[in-house]
């Protein structure tokens, strides 16, 4: 599959890199600069908004896919509109900070669009509702977790590769396209950040990941929990951190530096070390997901739930270590 369409994957990678390079110049011209601060994990003033490179590359892939697969053109174009909405509100927020409510409203509409696609494709209201919640959640999770060099991008790459492994042809190409778009941006952000992704990119990545998981739930008979294994490290870190803040009565909607990855950076672990540590965990998860997908459905459920529980236990252990 990849050999037949390597040109599309290469085009996506080059497009993402070229647009990111242009975004650096645009950000400097418009003075879109993130300054170091108490609630940030960087110490150098850095341009933001480079995630537009990923967005443009994925929109290009959707348009080309609609031409290549006329039968899926409507689905791809509707998804592209949802992606454009999420990226657009993020782009606006990168230029002028917006209240949470209008951003959430856009995320809800985009999530509803994805849910409708799943419902029309599968006839399952349950799957559609689940994908709606997944889309809205992941858009915000990727935004929360985009706090150090390379973390959000490498996790999206690994989700893309995992999806390419789990999905049948020709759907596997969607995973390769996401991984390629992120790979085009990554050298500008890791190990040294010449530009940050910004809300335009982080929210869009969450929506793209949700789209991949929705695709997997729609076209395979694998246990749904296997698809959650791919972004498990982000689901656990963001979810348990949010729960912890809510139980403490803290203003959980406000920016903070209490995620596990941020605590390790505070302990003077380098951005590269933390990002690579998260990547290693995700590589193990996607490898196990691929193996469990070959087993009977019951084994898939058991394996997926076990991995999510193990991830939660690892979070509790590592958080206690980071606090000592």
The pLDDT tens digits for 265-319 are 988 899 999 999 999 999 999 999 999 999 999 999 999 999 999 999 999 999 9
Residue range of the domain that includes 295: 6-323
Give the pLDDT confidence score for residue 182 in this predicted structure: 98
Percent of the residues in the chain that have a pLDDT greater than 90, as a whole number = 80
Q: What is the pLDDT of residue 147?
A: 87
Let me know if residue 235 belongs to a domain: yes
Residue 1 lies in a domain: no
Tally of domains in the chain: 1
* pTM score over 0.75: yes
Over residues 160-186, mean pLDDT: 96
pLDDT at 6: 84
* Weakest-pLDDT range from 63-67, 94-98, 108-112, 251-255: 251-255
Burial 66-75 (b: 16+ CB within 10 A, else e): beeeeebeeb
Query: pLDDT value at position 42?
Result: 62
pLDDT at 2 over 60: no
Predicted pLDDT of residue 3: 59
The continuous run of DSSP H or E covering 1 comes out as none
Distance between CA atoms of 207 and 217, rounded to whole angstroms? 15
- 1 vs 270: CA distance, rounded Å: 38
pLDDT tens-place string over residues 229-277: 999 999 999 999 988 888 877 776 677 778 999 999 988 899 999 999 9
Confidence of residue 321 (pLDDT cuts 50, 70, 90): confident
How does residue 324 score in pLDDT terms, banded at 50, 70 and 90?
confident
pLDDT tens string 19-45: 999 999 999 999 988 787 555 556 678
Domain annotation covers residue 155: yes
């Amino acid at each position: 599959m990849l050999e037949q369409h390597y040109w599309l994957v290469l085009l996506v990678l080059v497009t993402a890199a070229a647009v990111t390079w242009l975004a650096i110049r645009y950000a400097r011209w418009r003075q879109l600069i993130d300054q170091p601060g108490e609630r940030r994990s960087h110490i150098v003033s850095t341009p933001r908004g480079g995630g537009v490179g990923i967005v443009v590359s994925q929109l290009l892939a959707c348009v080309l896919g609609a031409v290549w697969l006329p039968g899926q053109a409507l689905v791809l174009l509707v998804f592209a509109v949802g992606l454009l909405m999420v990226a657009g509100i993020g782009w606006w927020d990168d230029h002028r900070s917006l209240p949470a409510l209008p951003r959430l409203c856009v995320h809800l509409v985009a999530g509803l669009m994805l849910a409708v696609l799943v419902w029309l494709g599968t006839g399952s209201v349950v799957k559609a509702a689940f994908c709606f919640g997944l889309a809205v959640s992941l858009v915000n999770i990727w935004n929360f977790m985009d706090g150090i060099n390379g973390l959000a991008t490498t996790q999206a790459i690994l989700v893309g590769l995992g999806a390419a492994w789990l999905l049948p042809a020709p759907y596997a190409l969607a995973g390769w396209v996401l991984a390629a778009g992120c790979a085009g941006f990554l050298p500008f952000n890791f190990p040294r950040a010449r530009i940050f992704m910004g809300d335009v990119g982080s929210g869009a990545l969450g929506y793209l990941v949700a789209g991949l998981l929705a695709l997997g739930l729609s076209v395979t008979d694998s246990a749904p929990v296997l698809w959650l294994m791919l972004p498990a490290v982000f689901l656990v870190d963001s979810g348990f951190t949010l729960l912890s803040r809510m139980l403490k009565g803290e203003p959980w909607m406000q920016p903070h530096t209490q995620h596990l990855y941020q605590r390790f950076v505070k302990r003077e672990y380098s951005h590269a070390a933390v990002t690579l540590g998260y990547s290693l965990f995700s590589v193990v998860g996607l490898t196990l997901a691929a193996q469990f997908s070959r087993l009977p459905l019951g084994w898939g459920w058991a394996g997926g739930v076990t991995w999510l529980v193990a991830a939660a236990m690892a979070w509790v252990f590592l958080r206690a270590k980071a606090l000592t």
